[in-house]
C-alpha cells in the first residue's frame, strides 16, 4: 500500500514530522489520499482502526490518519506512515490481505501515493517522541516550481523562510519542509514538488498568525521584503493550502491520557 502553512506559516506511520539526529538516515513519510465511500463511514472507520492498530501501531511502520478540512479535498483522509527510511519499507507488515478484504471495500478511491523526505537542515520541528501524540492541527502548503528554475534559487528562497521562522521566539513555532521524492510531472493537475507544514496544538493558535513579514524585515531589512515576494512568484508556478486534523481514533498508536 503506497502513498501521498497559512502563508509561510502560513509561507507528509505518524505525521509527527519531527526532527532527527544528524547521524541518522534521512527520514521520510509514506502517504496516500483516501476518498471514503460515504454511504458507510462507520464501517470504514472501524476497518481502518482495526487495520492500523494491528499492523501499524508502533515504530517506523506506525500510521496516523488525518481529515482534510479545507479546499477541494475536504472530507478526504490522509493515511501516513513514518517517520521511516527506505530500509524500513523492506520490513513493513504483511497487511495487504487485511486491507483488501476489510478496508478497501469502504473506499471510493485511493490516489496520490507519495514519499515525503524531510529537509532536516531547514526545518524547525520538535524532537520525535514515539510515546507522545503528534500535534493534532496541521496547516499544509504545497508548492509547485516552474520548469527550468535553478535549485539554487529555490533553496535560497526556502532558506530565507527557514531563517526567519527560526528567529521567532516562542514555544509553539514549528515549521517543516519536505521534498516529494517521486515526481509525477505536470500533466495531471496538481503535482507538488515540495510541502511545508506548521504544527499546532489547538485551533486557537491560528488566531494571530506568526507575523512573518515583521520578523523577515527585522532579520533581512525592509528592502529585502519585496525582493523576497518577487522571487517567490518567479520560482513558484502554484501553491495551495490545506487544513488537516489528526484522527487519533483511526490511527495505529494509542497514547495515554495527556500524551
pLDDT tens digits for range 222-244: 999 999 999 999 999 999 999 99
Query: What pLDDT, on the 0 to 100 scale, is given for residue 156?
Result: 97
Residue 259 forms part of a structural domain: no
Question: CATH code at 146?
Answer: 3.30.70.100
Does the residue 16 lie in any domain? no
Is 256 within the bounds of a domain? no
What's the predicted TM-score (pTM) here?
0.88
> Distances in Å between the alpha carbon of 152 and those of 21, 118, 122?
25, 18, 14
Pinpoint the alpha helices (H) of 28-150: 41-55, 86-89, 96-98
Q: Is residue 242 part of a domain?
A: yes
32 in a domain, yes or no?
A: yes
Residue pair 33/78 in contact (Cβ under 8 Å)? The answer is yes
163-206 pLDDT, tens digit each = 999 999 877 899 999 999 987 666 556 678 999 999 999 999 99
54 by DSSP, 3-state: which? helix
pLDDT of 66 strictly over 80: yes
Nearest to 142 by CA among 119, 116, 120, 162: 116
User: What beta strand segments (E) does 63-208 contain?
Assistant: 63-68, 77-84, 107-118, 137-145, 175-180, 194-200
What does the block give as the cell for 124? 524547525
In a domain, 20, yes or no: no
SS3 196: strand
Phi and psi torsions of 225, nearest 5°: -65, -50
Calculate the average pLDDT of the chain.
88
**Whole domain around residue 185: which residue ranges?**
28-250
Contacts of 91-94 with CB under 8 Å at 24 or more apart are 91/61, 92/61, 93/55, 93/56, 93/61
The per-residue pLDDT for range 129-167, each reduced to its tens digit, is 888 889 999 999 999 999 889 999 999 999 999 999 999
215 found inside a domain: yes
Residue 169 forms part of a structural domain: yes
Predicted local confidence at residue 6, as pLDDT: 32
What distance, in Å, lies between the first and last C-alpha atoms of the chain? 29
What total number of domains does the chain contain?
1
Query: Which pLDDT belongs to residue 15?
Result: 38
Amino acid at each position: 500500500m503506497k502513498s501521498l502553512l497559512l502563508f509561510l506559516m502560513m509561507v507528509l506511520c505518524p505525521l509527527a514530522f519531527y526532527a532527527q539526529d544528524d547521524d541518522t538516515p534521512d527520514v521520510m513519510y509514506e502517504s496516500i489520499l483516501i476518498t471514503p465511500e460515504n454511504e458507510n463511514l462507520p464501517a470504514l472507520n472501524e476497518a481502518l482502526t482495526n487495520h492500523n492498530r494491528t499492523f501499524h501501531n508502533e515504530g517506523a511502520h506506525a500510521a496516523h490518519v488525518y481529515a482534510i478540512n479545507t479546499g477541494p479535498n475536504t472530507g478526504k483522509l490522509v493515511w501516513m506512515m513514518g517517520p521511516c527510511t527506505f530500509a524500513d519499507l523492506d520490513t513493513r507488515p504483511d497487511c495487504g490481505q487485511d486491507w483488501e478484504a476489510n478496508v478497501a471495500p469502504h473506499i471510493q478511491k485511493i490516489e496520490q501515493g507519495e514519499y515525503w523526505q524531510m529537509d532536516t537542515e531547514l526545518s524547525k520541528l520538535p524532537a520525535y517522541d514515539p510515546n507522545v501524540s503528534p500535534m493534532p492541527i496541521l496547516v499544509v502548503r504545497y508548492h509547485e516550481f516552474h520548469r527550468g528554475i535553478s535549485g539554487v534559487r529555490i533553496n535560497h528562497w526556502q532558506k530565507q523562510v527557514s531563517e526567519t521562522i527560526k528567529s521567532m521566539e516562542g514555544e509553539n513555532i514549528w515549521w517543516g519542509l519536505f521534498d516529494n521524492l517521486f515526481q509525477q510531472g505536470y500533466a495531471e493537475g496538481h503535482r507538488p514538488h515540495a510541502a511545508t507544514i506548521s504544527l499546532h496544538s489547538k485551533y486557537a493558535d491560528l488566531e494571530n498568525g506568526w507575523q512573518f513579514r515583521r520578523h523577515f524585515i527585522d532579520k533581512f531589512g525592509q528592502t529585502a521584503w519585496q525582493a523576497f515576494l518577487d522571487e517567490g512568484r518567479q520560482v513558484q508556478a502554484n501553491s495551495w493550502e490545506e487544513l488537516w486534523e489528526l484522527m487519533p481514533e483511526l490511527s495505529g498508536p494509542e497514547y495515554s491520557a495527556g500524551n
